A and B are shown apart, each in its own frame.
Chain A
Amino acid sequence: MVTKVELEEAMDKRFTKEIYKKFKNARVCIAGLGGLGSNIAIMLARSGIGTLKLIDFDVVDITNLNRQAYRICHIGIEKTKALKEMVEEINPYIKVEVCQEKVTEYNIEEIFKGEAYVCEAFDNPEYKALLVNYLLERQPETVVVSGSGMAGIGNSNAICTKKKMNRLYVCGDGESDAYKGMGLLAPRVSICAGHQANVLLQLITQGDCSLG
């Protein structure tokens, strides 16, 4: 088995040790483990984020394979469990907490209490709004990085990161809704996930986000 030291030494040394220390000490909560959340978790794991909290109520379905990080061997398994396994195959020394629950107004406080960074990666726009409103209204210490608008095969360059509110970053094109005739595919969903993951790395290292 690859040791913790070997993995740490294998990180790109062109970065300073301080950056990796910040990543290792950081904790990120990912709400929704679909095309956005599963890919965000894997990117953050590869970057060396020390603790991930993974939240989803669902199990892996065959229709997820077109854009989510899961494989055929995961069909029927809880997404939290499948993703934890995949993260641990990349880096077994990352601490992964899982929450196999549907987020509702009743359990939201308990699930997100004390989280500094929350990645909103739900599918349903009403749940996106529920989570974002709750965190901005009730948790003044939390920064939220949300995904909105990544359906279809439209312009990749339309997907961008915007600081929309004091503690809310929104990644996506802001308008490409998923509906009948316009589904979700791996490239644009992964581009959006990459935006969200990179906002988190910037926030963790710099405390804010460079946007141009």
Chain B
Amino acid sequence: MVRINGNDIEHMEGKSIAEYLKEAGYDVKRVAVERNGVIVPKKSYEEVVITEADTIEVVSFVGGG
């Protein structure tokens, strides 16, 4: 079980951040991702693998300012 944006989600372990973002429909260019309280660098999305008990926060920015 992992926690993503406050929701417990199953069967996510083993996926990379990049895979999760794609599956969830995020536009990678518009997001910032934090894993267990630490920002995940954009260039590491392919390598960082989600593991059991991870807490992940994805912020997806929308236009307007």
Can you list, as one digit per residue, whether each of B21-65 has a CB less than 8 Å from chain A (1) or not (0)? 000000001111010011101100000000000000101111111
Q: Is the interface of B mostly helix, strand, loop or mixed?
A: mixed
CA distance A111 to B62 in the complex (A): 24
In the bound complex, residues from chain B placing their C-beta under 8 Å from that of A179 are: 63
Q: Is the interface of A mostly helix, strand, loop or mixed?
A: mixed
Cβ-neighbour of A136 out of B32, B61, B62 (below 8 A): B32
In the bound complex, residues from chain A placing their C-beta under 8 Å from that of B37 are: 165-166
CA distance A123 to B64 in the complex (A): 4
Chain B: minimal CB distance from A67 (Å): 10
In the bound complex, residues from chain A placing their C-beta under 8 Å from that of B57 are: 164-165
CA distance A104 to B42 in the complex (A): 16
CA distance A34 to B41 in the complex (A): 28
**In this assembly, does A99 line the interface, its C-beta being within 8 Å of a C-beta of chain B?**
no
Chain A: minimal CB distance from B43 (Å): 9
Q: CB distance A132 to B32 under 8 Å?
A: yes
Q: CB distance B65 to A123 under 8 Å?
A: yes
Cβ-neighbour of B62 out of A36, A37, A148 (below 8 A): A148
User: Which residue of chain A lies nearest to B5 when distances are taken between CB atoms in the complex?
Assistant: A164
Across the A-B interface, the 4 shortest Cβ-Cβ residue pairs: A178-B64, A177-B62, A136-B39, A125-B61
In the bound complex, residues from chain B placing their C-beta under 8 Å from that of A178 are: 62-64
Q: CB distance A168 to B32 under 8 Å?
A: yes
CA distance A37 to B30 in the complex (A): 20
**In this assembly, does A126 line the interface, its C-beta being within 8 Å of a C-beta of chain B?**
yes
**In this assembly, does A200 line the interface, its C-beta being within 8 Å of a C-beta of chain B?**
no
Interface centre among A37, A165, A175 (most CB of B within 10 A): A165
List 27 A-B pairs, Cβ < 8 Å: A32-B65, A35-B64, A35-B65, A37-B65, A125-B62, A128-B30, A129-B31, A129-B32, A129-B61, A133-B42, A137-B41, A147-B64, A148-B59, A148-B62, A150-B65, A164-B57, A164-B59, A165-B32, A165-B34, A165-B37, A165-B59, A166-B39, A170-B59, A176-B64, A178-B62, A179-B63, A184-B64
